[in-house]
A and B are shown apart, each in its own frame.
Chain A
Amino acid sequence: MTRLQARGLSKRFGSRVAVRDVSFELDPGAVLAIIGPNGAGKTTLLSMLAGGLAPSAGELRVPAEGGVGWVPQQTAVYSKLSVAENLRLFARLERVADVEAAVAGMLDQAGLRERADEPVGRLSGGNRQRVNIAIGLIADPSVLLLDEPSSALDPRQRARLWEFILTRVAGGTSVAFATHDIAEAERYAGQLLVLADGEMLFAGPPQGLRGAEHGSDLERAFVAFLAERGH
């Protein structure tokens, strides 16, 4: 199996339902944007897909080869370690066969070769996020999950970050990312998944969400879509 499949995924925290009955599929080389208001369950869904949270119900199938790489919303890197040391550590923990080759390859792909020996704490926000994503990719996963990857970046840094992600997509890596930036979702994602209060309200291409009355403005269409459904 080469695609990610989620069937009826749900997650409860006590009596509170964080995610209810979410189903979708993600093909190799496809990009899925998960959008929704705050508290919709986007991070919970990504955590379940990443294996960090066990679903309360439903079924999850991940590609047999490569597995899943996860990039949390907060940059999860050791600021006192250099870029290369961070990558090397996670390559070892991921049991990558050739650690040094994987680190060298990732430094090149992320455009961080010249910054390899700099402590991550001294890097700009954009470069720190690239390290964050590079760690998620160090084991060469078939699926990359990103939680609001560009939320703290300026437009130039965001463009460079997506350039890096899209080179992986071109190589066949599937990407699912959560975002509040509707324009970013529309620009990079072939599919949208709309969540509100843990419920999946929409799954499909961006064009499907855009109503005729909102013209080309997906953000207005998205807000109207939620309002029509009481969110």
Chain B
Amino acid sequence: MGLALRALLAKDLRILGRSPALAALLIIYPIAIALLIGLALSSSPALPRVAFLNEIPPDQATVQLGRESINTTTYERRLFQAIQPVPVATRAQAIADVRSGATIAALIIPAELPQELASASQTAYVDVIYNNNAVNQSLVEQAIESKLAQANAALAAQLSRVADSYIDLLLKGGNLNFLGSTYKILGLVRAHSLLQAITAELPPSSPVRPRVEQVESFAEVAVQHLGGSKAVIGAVAEPIGVKQEVLSGHRTPLNDYAVAVAVSVSLMFVCILLASGMLALEREEGTLARLRRGLVPAGLLLGAKALLAAIVGFAVSFAMLAGIGIFVPLDWARVGLWIASIAVGSVAFATLGVAMGAIVRDLRAASLLALFVSLPLVFLALVPSAAVSSALFDAIRIISAIFPFKPALEALDAAINQSQPSLLEALGHLAALIAGFGVVARLALRG
């Protein structure tokens, strides 16, 4: 048994080695994919080039609202996080740059922006000029609007603090500086106390007493409710906030999940294509019938093909993961778990591959079947539950559960990122699929 297995493995490795295109692909593929994914995940996305003109004179960049100073250059910096600014000297130059395509848009901060902000009575505007390219416009629009929304929120918070200080002044009293003069404000709290003292000193029959009591009552209500209005203004500044909570396990960062997806996809393609191809090749060369004539038991033949595909798939995927690890920080302390998840995943994919190779009659059909089955599985496994109806998602979950891609991805994600479901659960799922597809392959080879 061992001798036959060794002979079959050595033969298949030799055949693989003599297919230069395939061997080169198996070496170049993980390196190329690891480089691409690593560079994509480790480098920042390119920012759109936007002509930028700030028309506000430098000495007017700060706006004073009450006790708060608002520096407009702070908000300028926020916008620069979303674009690559190309400074221009004039509005005409900005427009010319957009027309010529040197920049895909122009962002102009008008000179009157500080006054508009200071007035607090009208909306302040920045000007954005696009060319007629819808894709570019959408790209810049999204980038600028997202950062502008953040800037607006920060500005609203600052304006809310200004309003708070005025309300405090109204309530507690103090000095108000306005147009170079200082005014002393009594404040509603002290006004209410004074009115209470006056009411106490008035005789009960005094004709002014009811009117003073009316004003005192108003002062009391005003003190109570004006205090509450600060909270209302705060809520308007940020009407809805987001509190994040992950129900179970560890939330996988998108970059790390992308690594798990990329490695799982590669593992799947290498194992399935190789296992199905090598078995179909036996049929195509006519050697399958010769081997099956009592020389090699069917189980051993299938096992040898699956083992070879799993070994190659494992080596390619691990090399790819290690390569990506150069660019993306991965927890190398968990390398044992990576190995376990890739090893079991590779056997599961290879078993599915030999089942496909046993079902079809030739190499081309095996490759086509492998691609037709594998590609939809990747898409199905990545469909988020919120993207489709619950009935459709249930169907997708069932389909994903009877093929190895989803559990292999879950196992690798758990190994790399400690995500849920647990590694053990995913490995158990894969083991069940290995058994199932092993039976399918055995039955198909009998036919």
Q: Mask for A108-145, Cβ within 8 A of B = 1, else 0?
A: 00000000000100000000000000010000000000
Q: Cβ of A92: which chain B residues have Cβ within 8 Å of it?
A: 3-4, 7
B residues 279-296 near A (Cβ < 8 Å) are 285-287, 289-296
- Chain A 66-92, CB-CB to B under 8 Å as 1, else 0, gives 000010101111111100010001101
**Residues of B85-137 contacting chain A, CB below 8 A:** none
What separation, in Å, do the CA atoms of A76 and B11 have in the docked complex? 15
A52 contacts B by Cβ under 8 Å: yes
Binding site for B on A (CB under 8 A): 50-52, 70, 72, 74-81, 85, 89-90, 92-95, 119, 135
Distance, CA A90 to CA B285, complexed state (A): 14
B15, A78: Cβ atoms closer than 8 Å: yes
Q: Whole-angstrom distance from the CB of B301 to the nearest CB of chain A?
A: 11
In this complex, what residue of B is CB-closest to A94? B295
Nearest-CB distance from B13 to chain A (Å)?
A: 11
The CA-CA distance from A80 to B4 in the complex, in Å, is 19
B290 contacts across to A, CB distance below 8 A: 70, 72, 76, 90, 135
B14 at interface (Cβ–Cβ under 8 A)? yes
A185 CB → nearest B CB, Å = 24
A135 to B4, CA, bound (A): 16
Specify which chain A residues have a CB less than 8 angstroms from the CB of B184 in the assembled complex. none
On whether the beta carbons of A93 and B4 are closer than 8 Å, the reply is yes
With both chains docked as a complex, state the minimum distance between the C-beta of A72 and any C-beta of chain B, in angstroms. 6
Query: Which B residues are in CB contact (< 8 Å) with A90?
Result: 290, 295
Smallest Cβ-Cβ distance to A53: which chain B residue: B293
How far is it, in angstroms, between the C-alpha of A81 and the C-alpha of B14 when the chains are bound? Answer: 8
In this assembly, does B19 line the interface, its C-beta being within 8 Å of a C-beta of chain A? yes
B18 beta carbon closer than 8 Å to chain A: yes
Residues of B within 8 A of A72 (CB): 286, 289-290
Question: Chain B residues near A119 (CB, 8 Å)?
Answer: 18
Residue in A51, A75, A78, A119 with the greatest tally of chain B CB atoms within 10 Å: A78
Given A70-B293, A93-B296: A78 and B285 within 8 A (CB)? yes
Q: Can you name 28 A-B pairs with beta carbons within 8 Å?
A: A51-B293, A52-B289, A52-B293, A70-B290, A72-B290, A76-B285, A76-B287, A76-B290, A77-B285, A77-B287, A78-B15, A79-B285, A80-B15, A80-B19, A81-B18, A85-B11, A85-B14, A89-B7, A90-B290, A90-B295, A92-B3, A92-B4, A92-B7, A93-B291, A93-B296, A95-B3, A119-B18, A135-B290
Quick one: which of B15, B19, B286 contacts A75, CB cutoff 8 A? B286
Q: Output the least CB separation between A79 and chain B (Å).
A: 6
Which B residues, 371 to 386, have Cβ-Cβ distances below 8 Å to chain A? none
User: Closest residue to A75 on the B side, CB-wise?
Assistant: B286
Best-surrounded residue of A80, A85, A90 (most CB of chain B within 10 A): A80
Out of A52, A70, A78, which one reaches B287, CB within 8 Å?
Answer: A78
Establish whether residues B285 and A93, one from each chain, have CB atoms under 8 Å apart when the complex forms. Answer: no
Q: What is the CB-to-nearest-CB distance from B147 to chain A, in angstroms, rounded to a whole number? A: 59
A90 to B15, CA, bound (A): 15
**Most chain B CB neighbours (cut-off 10 Å) among A75, A81, A92:** A92
Residues of A within 8 A of B7 (CB): 89, 92-93
B411 → A minimal CB distance (Å): 35
Taking the nearest CB of chain A, how far is it from the CB of B283, in angstroms? 10
Q: Are B11 and A89 in contact (CB under 8 A)?
A: yes
User: Within the complex, what minimum Cβ distance (angstroms) separates B281 from chain A?
Assistant: 9
CB contacts (< 8 Å) of A70 on chain B: these are: 290, 293
Contacts of B9-42 to chain A: CB distance below 8 A: 11, 14-15, 18-19
Residues of chain B within 8 A (CB-CB) of A94 are: 295
Cα–Cα, bound, A74→B292 (Å): 15
Bound Cα distance from A6 to B97, whole angstroms: 93
A93 touches B295 (CB 8 A): yes
Residue numbers in A under 8 Å from B14 (CB-CB): 80-81, 85
B287 → chain A closest CB, angstroms = 5
Contact mask for chain B residues 237-265; partner A; CB cutoff 8 A; 1 contact, 0 none = 00000000000000000000000000000
Q: Report how far A72 CA is from B292 CA in the complex, Å.
A: 12
Residues from chain A with a CB closer than 8 A to the CB of B295 are 90, 93-94
A222 to B173, CA, bound (A): 127
Determine the distance from Cα of A92 to Cα of B7 in the docked complex, in whole angstroms: 7
What residue of chain A has the Cβ atom nearest to residue B6's Cβ?
A92
Nearest-CB residue, chain A, relative to B289: A72
The 3 closest A-B pairs by CB, nearest first: A76-B286, A74-B286, A52-B293
A93 to B285, CA, bound (A): 17
User: In the bound complex, how far is the Cα of B361 from the Cα of A74, in angstroms?
Assistant: 15
Q: Is the CB of B286 within 8 A of A50?
A: no
B80 to chain A, nearest CB (A): 60
Given A50-B293, A92-B3, A93-B295, decide whether A81 and B286 contact each other with a Cβ distance below 8 A: no
Given A52-B292, A77-B287, A90-B295, 12 other A-B residues pairs in contact with their CB atoms under 8 A: A51-B293, A51-B294, A74-B286, A78-B11, A78-B287, A80-B14, A80-B19, A81-B14, A92-B4, A93-B4, A93-B291, A119-B18
Chain B residue with the shortest CB-CB distance to A139: B295
Which chain A residue shows the least CB distance to B4? A93
Residues from chain B with Cβ under 8 Å of A76 in the complex? 285-287, 289-290
Which of B18, B292, B293, B296 has the most chain A CB atoms closer than 10 A to its own CB?
Answer: B293
A73 smallest CB distance to B (angstroms): 9
